[in-house]
Structure 1
Amino acid sequence: MEGPVLTRELLITYRLHLRTEEHAPGTIEKYLRDLRALSLWLEERRLTKELAAEWKAHLLSAGYMPVTINSMLAALNGLCRFLGLDWRIRYLKIQHRMFRDQSRELNRPEYDRLVEAARGSGKERLALLMEAICATGVRVSEVKYLSVEAAQRGRAEISLKGKIRVILLAGKLCRKLLKYAKKQKITSGAIFRTRSGKYLSRRQIWGEMKQLCKTAGVSPEKVYPHNLRHLFARTFYHACKDIARLADVLGHSSIETTRIYLLTTGDEQLRQLDRLGLIS
């Protein structure tokens, strides 16, 4: 079954569809960026399964990482579902990673230095925001649910893609959130806002965190909001050893996704192998 030409108008319509499906803003931008790349490659040709398969081969030959190619194919397959096309492009098979890249992992001392750097620079909102993400494991798109009412109740109700989950907020975090809200004269709704009252965007949070790198002495490769969520996941799991419970807290529909968050580093695996004592 032949598809349409990927015009600007079609992609705008698809963007609206993704919004109605309640996809996160970052996900929508990623999908549209990948589809624009596909549109340029197609050069006004109609989308067909054969051309889609050629695009996949093109990405491989161009040296894209397999995980990147699969994420781009996810954008393509999502569009195919939207268009009612009866075909999909198969993802590349990738062996599960056995350990994570330590050079990109944010550890606890580095996190502490980032928070202190923010406070030392007079960036009270940023310091508290990083603590709030790291103490709850919320996604950047879910920060808006950390409201005055949530801090008063000690729990936040997060709605994403038609699913609602409740996360508990530690007492100390609630007190800090309410103290900050009172200081900013925020009496209800989201606590983390811009001066004009809008929600903080993913890009703004990312940019403000990157500005702390030099002062905190932390590699920029490790400093982005989602790494705070990963640090929460590892710390939570080490405390309770319950991956199913952690998956619920993080809002994962699959424990396999949660498992990725808990990969050990290569150095940790080497130490574990040495402790086996199987070499005389």
Structure 2
Amino acid sequence: MMSAAIDAFLAMLAAERGAAANTLAAYRRDLEGAGEVAGDLERAGKADLSCLTRAWADLAPSTVARKISALRQFYGFCMDEGWRGDDPSAVLVRPQARRPLPKILSHAEVERFLTQAEEEAAGDKPNAVRMLALLELLYGSGLRATELVSLPITAVPRDAPFLSITGKGGQQRMVPVSRRAKEALGRWVAVRSAPGSPHLFPSRTGYISRIRLYQLVKELALRAGLDPAKVSPHVLRHAFATHLLEGGADLRVLQTLLGHADIATTQIYTHVDSARLVALVNERHPLAAARAGG
């Protein structure tokens, strides 16, 4: 039965690739949805699958690409198991989906942002010191918002300048902590008043939420004279990655630091850097200046 084949495929993803529960649920939705249109996937041929193109006509290219990827992996598994000798999903043409370039902040904007946080933390008020520590880790270590707010107090480095992070899918990685971030963390731990909490950034109900972090970052951006629409925890993570790449960081190293499972995800930053270089040429090249002077 189709459901048995899908169950076996998902079990393989969980056991051999360590796929997270959300990932497995997404695969199941895509495969079962395709089966509702094309029939029993285990026995479907190219003619059966070709009708999916019409069924998916109104979906975003990225969504269609994800569904096709799920089918190709499923049929690859079926062939490995000897359940069939061909892959009918070859009839489906993957759309060319361009990922939007992430928003980025310039070095000057980041410096302005951090300077505002440092000035506010000068009096050692706990909330201001906490904000400085949060920012130093967002920009200095490239953490995801969820990874940051859920850090345990035991994650604070003592001798080794690294944090042990549990990222997407429960994957573990080590990220470096800059001298600035380590100093900010030390200041925060000294004024943090939650002796019974296991969380580095505690709240009354556990740890501060991603939404609260988002609000705090927006509020600080406003006080720093920056457009709040341009700034978020994720934008600071992008700035970390982009500025490292501009400085000559290796893409594979960047992939490890960011916790990306696929190097293709990290490669978006090469496009960001290219876009910056094109803008620089258009604005600063002597011929551009001569043309503008006309």
Q: Fold-level match, TM-score > 0.5?
A: yes
Alignment equivalent of 1:157, drawn from 156, 164, 168:
164
Alignment equivalent of 1:168, drawn from 164, 172, 176:
176
**Structure 2: gaps (5+ residues):** 122-126
Greater C-alpha Rg: 2
TM, length-normalised to structure 2 = 0.60
Secondary structure of the residue aligned to 2:240 is helix
What is the identity percentage for the equivalent residue pairs of Structure 1 and Structure 2? 18
TM, length-normalised to structure 1 = 0.62
User: Counterpart of 2:154 in structure 1: which amino acid?
Assistant: V
Change in 2 beyond 3 A, CA 1:267/1:187:
same
For the pair 1:105 / 2:103, whether they are aligned, the reply is: yes
Change in 2 beyond 3 A, CA 1:270/1:188:
same
Q: Which residue of 2 aligns with 1:92?
A: 94
- Within a 5 Å distance, the mapping from 1:35-54 to structure 2 comes to 35-36=28-29, 39=32, 43=36, 46-48=40-42, 49=44, 54=51
Q: Which residue of 1 aligns with 2:3?
A: 4
Deviation at 1:169, TM superposition (A): 0.8
Alpha carbons 1:136, 1:167 under 8 Å: kept: yes
RMSD between aligned residues: 4.9
**Structure 1: gaps (5+ residues):** none
Counterpart-to-counterpart distance in 2, 1:208 and 1:34: 31
Deviation at 1:107, TM superposition (A): 0.9
Superposed CA offset, 1:158-187 (max 9, x none): 466697543221122122223323413458
Deviation at 1:232, TM superposition (A): 0.5
Q: Which residue of 2 aligns with 1:62?
A: 58
Alpha carbons 2:241, 2:269 under 8 Å: kept: yes
User: Counterpart of 1:62 in structure 2: which amino acid?
Assistant: D
Deviation at 1:269, TM superposition (A): 1.4
Counterpart-to-counterpart distance in 1, 2:263 and 2:256: 9
Alpha carbons 2:30, 2:70 under 8 Å: kept: no
Alignment equivalent of 1:269, drawn from 271, 274, 278:
278
User: Counterpart of 1:237 in structure 2: which amino acid?
Assistant: L
Counterpart-to-counterpart distance in 2, 1:207 and 1:72: 34
What is the count of residue pairs matched by the alignment?
259
Alignment equivalent of 1:209, drawn from 214, 217, 242:
214
User: Counterpart of 2:184 in structure 1: which amino acid?
Assistant: K
